[in-house]
A and B are shown apart, each in its own frame.
Chain A
Amino acid sequence: MTNTKTLVSTAVSSLMLLGIAGTTLPANAADMEKCFGVAKAGKNDCQTSNSSCAGTSTKDGQKDAWLFVPKGTCEKLVGGTTKAGA
């Protein structure tokens, strides 16, 4: 078993060196994990207006049977669908 105390001591000491010369540690291969950027614009702005669809139907049109089946890009997901969620 690795000595946790030694690991911690080395790590915290290295951390404190950072402040001194703006030191950065060299990246190793394991640093190459993927990074995904998201262009989130906070688009669900609160609105004071009404939807133009507000009055367009007498029923809200949610009862059509064809809607009950997912029909998007999920059709391109294959295998393992019965695996339990995390």
Chain B
Amino acid sequence: MASPTDGFTAQPIPAQAGIGLRSEHYREVIATRPAVGFFEIHSENFFGLGGAPHQYLENIRADYPLSFHGVGMSLGSVDPLSEQHSQRLKQLVDYYQPDLISEHLSWSSFNGQYFNDLLPVPYTPEALTHIVDRVQQIQDTLQRQILVENVSSYLQYTHSTIPEWEFVSQVAQQSGCGILLDVNNIYVNATNHDFDPRAFLGGVSAQLVKEIHLAGHSVNEFEDGSILIDTHDQLVCDEVWSLYRDAVRRLGPKPTLIEWDTNLPELAVLLDEANTAQTILEASHARVA
């Protein structure tokens, strides 16, 4: 990575479909320059200081706007925010000038030990105040607005008092951040925790939502019941597409990302999924026009 002084200039992400950039696809993306609205990376995959990842990303950034999606900030943890982590993210943000920067509404560390997972926070006033403060700290460090994403969860705390959608909205309203609405995570949680996913959609304000995520999930069966797991290893299912159509209708067209992490298919499969999202977005643009 060259010095931050010769970084990129800001490039806005249009309300179009984009895909997650994974190392297996670097070469093909560079060779074929697919027609997508943007690429999203996992910020931590570029925390290394140089070498292949940055050479590829610089090349791709020259032609596309970027979104940075963080996995490891541990927003909801009671541990102090990692200064090292925030500072490295800031360097990358200053250099690559991503249009969107997001983190998860979850925690992943305690007492310095990291679980490298998106663990659920209780939806309580205490957690809300804590997370609002943390989001503000990060925004102060980066001197940028961030987005927070609703995560999939496999349990609910009995002492949660605030509906998830209201919690997410409150974090955004009180901290000044935006919302990255993961429609698959809404569907997964609605199924796992037995609520109406449309209630979630109805509970967030259109102005706060700056990006939408779509992904595939898996069903795990147990003798005492089944649960949906957010695996990002398959196609977006019909129910999630339907929920996405409703989301776009209600919130208007938003930059939409196809996320795929495990059992990564050919780039063409991701582009097909992005195409489906793009068609829905364009239909909505047409309605608006």
Interface residues of A (CB under 8 A from B): 41-43, 45-52, 54-56
Contacts of A54 in B (CB 8 A): 220, 229
Is B210's CB within 8 Å of the partner chain A?
A: no
Q: How large is the interface on B (under 10, 10 to 19, 20 to 34, 35 or more residues)?
A: 20 to 34
Contacts of A49 in B (CB 8 A): 215, 230-233, 259, 261-262
The chain A residue sitting closest to B102, CB to CB, is A48
Given known contacts A42-B52, A55-B220, A55-B227, A48 and B23 CB-to-CB distance under 8 angstroms: no
Q: Does A46 contact B72, Cβ atoms closer than 8 Å?
A: yes
Which among B24, B104, B231 has the highest number of chain A CB atoms within 10 Å?
A: B231
Given known contacts A42-B53, A55-B222, A55-B227, A47 and B232 CB-to-CB distance under 8 angstroms: yes
Q: Does A48 contact B232, Cβ atoms closer than 8 Å?
A: yes
Which of the residues A41, A45, A47, A52 comes within 8 Å of B218, measured between beta carbons? A52
Besides A47-B262, A49-B215, A54-B229, 17 new A-B residue pairs in contact (Cβ under 8 A), listed by A number: A41-B23, A42-B52, A45-B23, A46-B44, A48-B71, A48-B118, A48-B261, A49-B230, A49-B233, A49-B262, A50-B230, A51-B231, A52-B220, A52-B231, A55-B220, A55-B227, A55-B229
Q: Does B231 contact A50, Cβ atoms closer than 8 Å?
A: yes
A48 and B72 CA atoms in complex are apart in Å by 9
Q: Does B218 contact A43, Cβ atoms closer than 8 Å?
A: no
Contacts of B154 in A (CB 8 A): 55
Contacts of B44 in A (CB 8 A): 46
Q: Does B42 contact A45, Cβ atoms closer than 8 Å?
A: yes
Given known contacts A50-B117, A55-B227, A56-B220, A45 and B261 CB-to-CB distance under 8 angstroms: yes
**How close is A49's CB to chain B, nearest CB, in angstroms?**
3
Interface of A is mostly: loop
A52 and B229 CA atoms in complex are apart in Å by 7
Contacts of A43 in B (CB 8 A): 23-24
Contacts of A55 in B (CB 8 A): 154, 220, 222, 227, 229
A45 and B227 CA atoms in complex are apart in Å by 26
Q: Which of B127-185 contact A (CB under 8 A)?
A: 152, 154
Q: Does A48 contact B42, Cβ atoms closer than 8 Å?
A: yes
Q: Does B262 contact A48, Cβ atoms closer than 8 Å?
A: no
Contacts of B215 in A (CB 8 A): 49
Q: Which of B173-222 contact A (CB under 8 A)?
A: 215, 218, 220, 222
- How does the 8 Å CB contact mask read for B34-50 relative to A, with 1 for contact and 0 for none? 00000000101100100
Is B69's CB within 8 Å of the partner chain A?
A: yes
Contacts of B24 in A (CB 8 A): 41, 43
A26 and B262 CA atoms in complex are apart in Å by 48
Which of the residues B23, B220, B227, B261 comes within 8 Å of A42, measured between beta carbons? B23
Q: Which of B218-267 contact A (CB under 8 A)?
A: 218, 220, 222, 227, 229-233, 259, 261-262
A48 and B213 CA atoms in complex are apart in Å by 12
Which among A49, A51, A52, A55 has the highest number of chain B CB atoms within 10 Å?
A: A49
The chain A residue sitting closest to B227, CB to CB, is A55
A41 and B53 CA atoms in complex are apart in Å by 9
For this complex, 24 residue pairs linking A to B, each with C-beta atoms less than 8 Å apart, are A41-B23, A41-B24, A42-B52, A43-B24, A45-B261, A46-B45, A46-B116, A48-B42, A48-B69, A48-B104, A48-B118, A48-B232, A49-B215, A49-B233, A49-B259, A49-B261, A49-B262, A50-B229, A50-B231, A51-B229, A52-B218, A52-B233, A54-B229, A56-B220
